[in-house]
A and B are shown apart, each in its own frame.
Chain A
Amino acid sequence: MTLYRKAAIAGVAESRLGIVPDETVLMMQAQAARDALADAGIDKRQVDGLFCAGRWGRTHQLEIAEYLGIDPHYSDGTLVGGSSFLYHLGHAAAAMNAGLCKVALILYGSIQRSRRERTLAMPDHRLSFQYEGPYGIPYPVGPYALAAARHMYQYGTTREQLAEVAVAARKWAMLNPKAFKREPLTIDDVLASEPVADPLHRLDCCLITDGGGAVVVVAPEIARDLKKKPVWLLGHGEAQSHMLISQMKDLTVSPAKAAGKRAFEMAAMTPSEIDVTQIYDSFTITVLLTLEALGYCKPGESGAFVSNGRIAPGGDFALNTSGGGLSYCHPGMFGIFLIIEAVRQLRGECGDRQVAKNRTALISGTGAILSSNATCILARD
């Protein structure tokens, strides 16, 4: 089965971002949903699909549907870490292809920063986690540090090359008025920031902010009558590899490899045909591993690939143009923001950070500790 052009993204919006102590996660998602539906020109009463994930409750779909007063015929709460929303996009397209819904909302909201919810502790030490939790591994940075150390050992990747990812993200963020961190950043700043889990230092790690977002996905017959040009889903792939870091077979090979292969096959495209790329940058190493996994460069070559400002504004590879989780926002789960930025780039709505070549986009979301990945290929007509 293919999801090629079986669904389109019609509207996107963020909630307020950064530090939002005066809202609840439901207020945030209501605002984002209202703005995304307005962006699409679709009435809320048409919404018949709901996709959401988060860390704020146990029955997200029920609570959000009730709060927003919507009646989903189809809903999905897939929760595989920050990549979940890219899973949702593929699942929404599959549901539409099966005729199960026509207008779906994908939603996220978090006030983890204001509530000081984020710690470095594993969620719990039960079941499988009892074999790793008691060792005091900071989570999720520790497992990513182990992957970075292994990549450096195998391929000679350097901390400077990792830092290139953070510096480029900051340069993009300086062009994005909504970005949380906009002051200049140098490679030396990243190298000199305090160590968290070697070789990763504080500025190799994503932000901790509040924020949320909404994406409106529609079936092809609805996409034809939108006020804005639809952004089509051409390919989707997902893959998962492990939950405990000891169970990841090769720490240098992300599940983005399998997911990306599936997405490219579905879209009948190759990496060279992608104009704009948005890769989940939970940590600098995540971007390097994902670039290799997706086939943009060979295994071990990602450090060189990102060097000399290639992924920064003005470079020849447009990556994470919002400023990413490293500098724009990171409210715990970033996947939905990859979708939002890709849609805006394809529509040409990105102002100072707008890239010139913008017909196709790839988004690749990695969840948990390199555990899950969904990759989607998008295009405008």
Chain B
Amino acid sequence: MSKEVPERDPDAKPWWDAVARGELAYQRCDDCGEVIFFPRSACPNCLSPRVSWLVSAGEGEIYSVTLIHRAPDRRLASEVPYYLALVNLDEGFRMLARLTTPGSETVKIGSRVRVVFGKGPDGESLPWFELSGSPKG
């Protein structure tokens, strides 16, 4: 395994285990209701240690997007250009992810997307997103 493989530390392991099951997990604070992503042992709003895991429906919209022409990792060099997007999930959290290569549709801010499971540079499963319809409104 290369050193690039993310550490499955105690904060992160449940999230990666969910990814391996094909689920996009996130957290919510039992005390204040804060929606939490990335996974943490303490709520970033009230510092409560009582945070629960939930599974996202995986639907959201693109908050911003860039087409990458220069990969930071040799193993991704053959894949350029590729899209990276910040996705606002409907449950109220935001994450960075790859988009699958679109067909004839245009990738735009506001485009609706849904989670699919793609691969990271080490072959590990990673949540990606694909276009799922036209922009809201």
Q: Using CB atoms and an 8 Å cutoff, list the residues of chain A in contact with chain B.
A: 119-122, 125-128, 130-139, 141-142, 145-147, 149-150, 153, 194-200, 244-247, 251
Contacts and interface: CB of A to CB of B under 8 A. Distances in A.
Contact of B38 (A134, A135, A142, A246): A246
B6 A138 contact: no
A247 B95 CA distance: 8
B64 A130 contact: no
Contacts of A153: 64, 109-110
B82 A136 contact: yes
Contacts of B4: 125, 133-134
Contact of A137 (B68, B94, B109): B68
29 contacts: A120-B72, A125-B4, A127-B9, A128-B38, A131-B96, A132-B96, A133-B6, A134-B121, A134-B122, A134-B124, A135-B84, A136-B71, A136-B121, A137-B72, A138-B70, A142-B84, A147-B64, A149-B64, A149-B66, A153-B109, A195-B81, A196-B70, A197-B67, A197-B69, A197-B70, A244-B96, A246-B96, A247-B38, A251-B86
B66 A146 contact: yes
Contacts of A142: 66, 68, 72, 84
Contacts of B69: 194-198
Given A130-B7, A146-B64, A150-B64, A135 B98 contact: yes
Nearest to A196: B70
A130 B96 CA distance: 11
A184 to B, nearest CB: 26
Interface of B: 4-7, 9, 11-12, 37-38, 63-73, 76, 79, 81-82, 84, 86, 94-98, 109-110, 120-122, 124, 126
B70 to A, nearest CB: 5
A96 B33 CA distance: 44
A134 B7 CA distance: 11
Given A121-B72, A135-B120, A246-B96, A146 B67 contact: no
Contact of B126 (A121, A134, A141, A200): A134
B95 A246 contact: yes
A368 to B, nearest CB: 15
Contacts of A195: 67, 69, 81
Contacts of B5: 125
Nearest to A251: B64
A149 B4 CA distance: 28
Given A119-B72, A195-B81, 14 more contacts: A120-B70, A125-B4, A125-B6, A127-B9, A133-B4, A134-B4, A135-B126, A141-B70, A145-B66, A149-B65, A150-B64, A197-B67, A244-B96, A246-B38
Contacts of A131: 12, 38, 95-96
B109 A138 contact: no
Contacts of B68: 136-138, 142, 197-198
A180 B45 CA distance: 46
Nearest to B67: A198
A127 to B, nearest CB: 7
B1 to A, nearest CB: 12
A141 B68 CA distance: 10
B66 A198 contact: yes
Given A130-B7, A131-B95, A194-B69, A137 B84 contact: yes
A128 B69 CA distance: 25
A123 B93 CA distance: 25
A284 to B, nearest CB: 15
Contacts of A120: 70-72
Contact of A150 (B11, B63, B96): B63
A196 B67 CA distance: 8
A247 B84 CA distance: 15
Nearest to B77: A136
B6 A130 contact: yes
A245 B66 CA distance: 13
B86 A246 contact: yes
